[in-house]
A and B are shown apart, each in its own frame.
Chain A
């Protein structure tokens, strides 16, 4: 027994994901709801015990044992019912079922979470449903927590999850080792993780803690992919590198008052050296094989920023080149917008404004007028710049964004007035 204060952060949530994956394997994907109920019962039993100070030395092992016993109880109860109604054959089947549970728990190899992740990311399932069902089953978030984190209604989350579970029941568990379409499916899984991270990193949620939690969860899931010999491809390493390098900046993205800071304003000493180093290590591991993914290019851009000790020392020429390659590989208005910002830094505001004209339709996206405002300001067109800052402020999707643009609007004054 150890100090009850020693429960690691998010232990319950992470263990919920692990145990759900394990129990889905034990009971079958058709009974995912029952698996979730058993996990809930396991955690409630743990809480009931542990709150009196009886924390076991290995809480994860304790939970596994508890879940195993509950699963065996369920199977036994069913076998008793079968024996009463039917014949000896049923009893034998029931006995085999108990042995199956014991065997599953005995050779738990840690791939269950990965398998469930692949099973939840079916190609025909819409991305929002994949995100919701992964957060529910693998990350241990409740429906209200997912709704709160993604800023959608609980009933919408319910609908997405039930859609995801229906697909899971229909198609069963995905066999990673002998799948013919592994590459395609891995791409969907990577995108789901990327979306979860993005929701935390660029999402509109006003609460920074919730957003960090989503980023942390995406990192954890990407870590599972990286660690497996089949799914730890160069593209997965590139994704991991990207997430690490971006997550490294999280501590510096807001100031002491919780106000958003632009890349230029961030105190780079506050970027996490551990995450940066991890990012570079995965970037190194990504540089094998033939395939070049958008994650490779995005990670290389993030690495270029991480390599510059000051904003002024950023190798913008290199970043423009990487964005050119990214536009060629995966064109989109947000990518073009980011390219235009880099062009403006490399070749000056006039070139930046020209590049902005090629962005295309990006309605209601505040960073488009914000980029224009920045270039206009640099050219001394203060009035036009202020109009663009005001437009960005109108389009802001969160309080933090709005306050950020309002600050830029305030600071953007002609010299004589300041």
Chain B
């Protein structure tokens, strides 16, 4: 098992066009998805991201691309998965995918030394 970071990338706000009833149905699907991962002991953590953002470089701080409406990271979760394939399969079930958002899957290297050894 390794931990994978899953970033929810939105182009604009995909929720804006949903009706209240559809929003609630979407929330329900999230509850089931996250609840399933938690029940399997695979959910390491996750948070929604707010609008405060900055890019820090040497001598230069900008608010970077994050303040733009496009390509907003709405939140992240960290999930334990067997492999990248397993992580991709897991991310496919994330309800944001059906709204046209992108889930970026990144392997963390927390266990790399152990696995290599």
Interface residues of A (CB under 8 A from B): 4-5, 7, 10-13, 15-16, 40-41, 43-44, 47-54, 140-142, 144-145
Q: What are 15 A-B pairs with beta-carbon distances under 8 A?
A: A5-B35, A12-B20, A12-B23, A15-B20, A44-B13, A44-B18, A44-B23, A47-B15, A48-B48, A48-B75, A50-B27, A51-B27, A52-B34, A53-B31, A54-B48
Other than the given A48-B74, A53-B31, A142-B20, 8 more pairs (CB < 8 A) read: A12-B23, A13-B19, A43-B20, A51-B27, A51-B75, A52-B34, A52-B46, A145-B19
A141–B30 Cα distance when bound, in Å, is: 22
Q: Which residues of A contact B75 (CB under 8 A)?
A: 48, 51-52
The proximity string for B residues 76-100 relative to A, scoring 1 for CB distances below 8 Å and 0 otherwise, is 0100000000000000000100000
User: Do the beta carbons of B48 and A49 come within 8 Å of each other?
Assistant: yes
The proximity string for B residues 1-42 relative to A, scoring 1 for CB distances below 8 Å and 0 otherwise, is 000000000000101101111111011101100110000000
* B interface residues, how many (CB within 8 angstroms): 24
User: Do the beta carbons of B47 and A52 come within 8 Å of each other?
Assistant: yes
A145-B21 contact in complex given A4-B31, A48-B15, A51-B30, C-beta closer than 8 Å: yes
Q: Which residues of A contact B48 (CB under 8 A)?
A: 48-49, 51-52, 54
User: Do the beta carbons of B34 and A53 come within 8 Å of each other?
Assistant: yes
Q: Which residue of B lies closest to A8 (CB)?
A: B24
Whole-angstrom distance from the CB of A156 to the nearest CB of chain B?
A: 18
Tell which of B16, B34, B77 touches A44, judged by Cβ atoms closer than 8 Å.
B16
User: Do the beta carbons of B74 and A142 come within 8 Å of each other?
Assistant: no
The proximity string for B residues 37-78 relative to A, scoring 1 for CB distances below 8 Å and 0 otherwise, is 000000000111000000000000000000000000011010
A134–B24 Cα distance when bound, in Å, is: 20
A144–B19 Cα distance when bound, in Å, is: 9
A16–B35 Cα distance when bound, in Å, is: 26
Q: Which residues of B contact A144 (CB under 8 A)?
A: 19
User: Do the beta carbons of A13 and B20 come within 8 Å of each other?
Assistant: yes
A15–B13 Cα distance when bound, in Å, is: 21
Q: Which residue of A lies closest to B14 (CB)?
A: A44
User: Do the beta carbons of A43 and B31 come within 8 Å of each other?
Assistant: no
Q: Which residue of B lies closest to A40 (CB)?
A: B16
Q: Which residue of B lies closest to A13 (CB)?
A: B20
User: Do the beta carbons of B21 and A140 come within 8 Å of each other?
Assistant: yes
Q: Which residue of A lies closest to B76 (CB)?
A: A52
User: Do the beta carbons of B20 and A44 come within 8 Å of each other?
Assistant: no
Q: Which residues of B contact A41 (CB under 8 A)?
A: 16
User: Do the beta carbons of B31 and A5 come within 8 Å of each other?
Assistant: yes
User: Do the beta carbons of A141 and B19 come within 8 Å of each other?
Assistant: yes
Q: Which residue of A lies closest to B33 (CB)?
A: A51
Q: Which residue of A lies closest to B22 (CB)?
A: A142
Q: Which residues of A contact B26 (CB under 8 A)?
A: 47, 51
Whole-angstrom distance from the CB of B103 to the nearest CB of chain A?
A: 13
A206–B44 Cα distance when bound, in Å, is: 45
A17–B39 Cα distance when bound, in Å, is: 35
Q: Which residues of B contact A44 (CB under 8 A)?
A: 13, 15-16, 18, 23
A7-B24 contact in complex given A48-B48, A52-B48, A144-B19, C-beta closer than 8 Å: yes
Q: Which residues of A contact B19 (CB under 8 A)?
A: 13, 140-142, 144-145
A50–B46 Cα distance when bound, in Å, is: 12
Q: Which residues of A contact B21 (CB under 8 A)?
A: 10, 12-13, 140-142, 145
A41–B18 Cα distance when bound, in Å, is: 11
A362–B111 Cα distance when bound, in Å, is: 77
Q: Which residues of B contact A50 (CB under 8 A)?
A: 27
Q: Which residue of B lies closest to A143 (CB)?
A: B19
A140–B18 Cα distance when bound, in Å, is: 11
Q: Which residues of A contact B30 (CB under 8 A)?
A: 4, 51-52
User: Do the beta carbons of B47 and A140 come within 8 Å of each other?
Assistant: no
Q: Which residue of B lies closest to A145 (CB)?
A: B19
Whole-angstrom distance from the CB of B22 to the nearest CB of chain A?
A: 8
A49–B24 Cα distance when bound, in Å, is: 13
A21–B21 Cα distance when bound, in Å, is: 18
Whole-angstrom distance from the CB of B7 to the nearest CB of chain A?
A: 13
Q: Which residues of A contact B22 (CB under 8 A)?
A: 142
Whole-angstrom distance from the CB of B61 to the nearest CB of chain A?
A: 24
User: Do the beta carbons of A11 and B24 come within 8 Å of each other?
Assistant: yes
User: Do the beta carbons of B46 and A7 come within 8 Å of each other?
Assistant: no
Q: Which residues of B contact A16 (CB under 8 A)?
A: 20
User: Do the beta carbons of B16 and A4 come within 8 Å of each other?
Assistant: no
Whole-angstrom distance from the CB of B38 to the nearest CB of chain A?
A: 8
Whole-angstrom distance from the CB of A21 to the nearest CB of chain B?
A: 14
A15–B15 Cα distance when bound, in Å, is: 17
Q: Which residue of B lies closest to A51 (CB)?
A: B30
User: Do the beta carbons of B35 and A140 come within 8 Å of each other?
Assistant: no
User: Do the beta carbons of A4 and B47 come within 8 Å of each other?
Assistant: no
A5–B48 Cα distance when bound, in Å, is: 18
